[in-house]
Amino acid sequence: MSATSPPPLPGAGLPDEYRGDEILGAVIATTTLACLTLCARLWVRLTMVHKMGSDDYAMIVAMLLSLASLGLVIPQVIYGAGRHIVYLRPSVATIGLKVNFVSQVFYLWAIPAVKMSIGLFLLRIAPNKGYRRALHGVMIFTMAYTMMCFATLLLQCTNLAILWDPTVKAVCWSKETLQALSYANSIVNIITDMFFAILPAPMLWNVQINIRTKASLICIMGLGVFAVAAAIVKSFFISNYGKTGDFLWDSTDLTIWVSTECNTGIIAACLPCLKPLFKRILETTTQRSRGSSSNQTDRSYKMKSYGAGGTNVAAGRGRTNSNKKRTREDEDELALFRQRSPNAITKITTVTVDSSAHPQAEISWWSPTSPRMRV
């Protein structure tokens, strides 16, 4: 009587493809860009706004979690992510699967940390209790649901070691149940991302700030829709995850898009805080391009105006009005990023300072049937 032959390993009969470079390229690029954007945000807060807020600290936590995930993705690729399991040694695949699982935990918490930062920022500019209650409700729901997903991730099997070691005996939830939970997690992320991307429009519309500042901030904060798009794309890859038990290969696109979702959220949340910096850079560049010729023209104009009597008064009034307008816009922008009381913004009082007298005033071995959940 002949012994029953074992089932073929996942990926048997398929070419030995390698997508590790795709994973590393996407994750390193998005994480680096997010980190640079956060550094610029913190520079603005410390040198122009002169105050750190709770939303900044929450974003730092999100960035640290994203960096930790990057630190796990690199060894994950080294140990087989992006390749079919059939071409990997059992010891290598075991390490790759273990690191893959741990990285999911960090991304699971990084994404809601981004949303907490956005929520804390919006709470400072919420014009009334209705908006604040809505924000508090969504933030509490997001954290509660994340805790539930975290518990699900840890309780999906009686012994989690079965997720990377098929010789372990354990009982797991069915593949259908875990896939349904993964879809539910994606749907919740999409809905909450949409909430935080759309809410600033009606909220800022009633805030008493310069109309140009208001419109530009609404557009910038609306960039959160890119995080929504990443979450939607990620959800399309859940259905194929683990169908044949080739988890290291199947996780390729999911790893790319969960990183994109997280880091795009960080970038979109930091960009509104960079508007004063962008404006400063633009003004500095414009002033330098004019050069010394502008100064000479201005001196000549002043001399002629002085000789013409009343012309000097009119010109001075024009420049004063221009300075007032610029100062008002600058103060409106910076006021949004300063820590405010729980009563939020009801009115912004602008104090105009003559920038010419005070220059500083401008700066402010394998079991393919093992089910598992994906975040």
For residue 3, being part of any structural domain is answered with no
What b/e readout covers 232-253, taking b as 16+ CB neighbours within 10 angstroms?
Answer: bebbebbeebbebbbbbbbbbb
**pLDDT number for residue 285:** 73
pLDDT tens-place string over residues 161-208: 999 998 899 999 988 888 889 999 999 999 999 999 888 888 877 777
254 against 300, higher pLDDT: 254
Q: Which helix (H) or strand (E) holds 188?
A: helix 175-198
Q: Provide φ and ψ at 246, rounded to 5°.
A: -90, 65
**pLDDT number for residue 273:** 85
pLDDT tens-place string over residues 29-52: 999 999 999 999 999 999 988 889
- Average the pLDDT over each of 99-108, 114-123, 287-296 and give the range with the smallest value: 287-296
pTM of the model: 0.79
For residue 154, being part of any structural domain is answered with yes
- Amino acid identity, position 364: S
For residue 302, pLDDT beyond 70: no
**pLDDT number for residue 349:** 47
For residue 284, being part of any structural domain is answered with no
For the chain, list the strands marked E by DSSP: none
For residue 281, being part of any structural domain is answered with no
pLDDT tens-place string over residues 254-278: 999 999 999 999 999 998 888 777 7
- Residue 169's nearest CA partner among 22, 368, 367 is 367
If one counts every other C-beta atom within 10 angstroms of the C-beta of residue 122, the result is 23
Give the CATH number of the domain where residue 89 resides. Answer: 1.20.1070
Print the domain residue range for 244. Answer: 20-276
Contact of 276 with 336, CB cutoff 8 Å: no
**How many whole angstroms separate alpha carbon 339 and alpha carbon 139?**
19
For residue 324, being part of any structural domain is answered with no
For residue 356, being part of any structural domain is answered with no
For residue 64, being part of any structural domain is answered with yes
**pLDDT number for residue 2:** 47
Average pLDDT, the chain: 81
For residue 359, pLDDT beyond 50: no
For residue 151, being part of any structural domain is answered with yes
Per the structure, how many domains does the chain have?
A: 1
**pLDDT number for residue 14:** 85
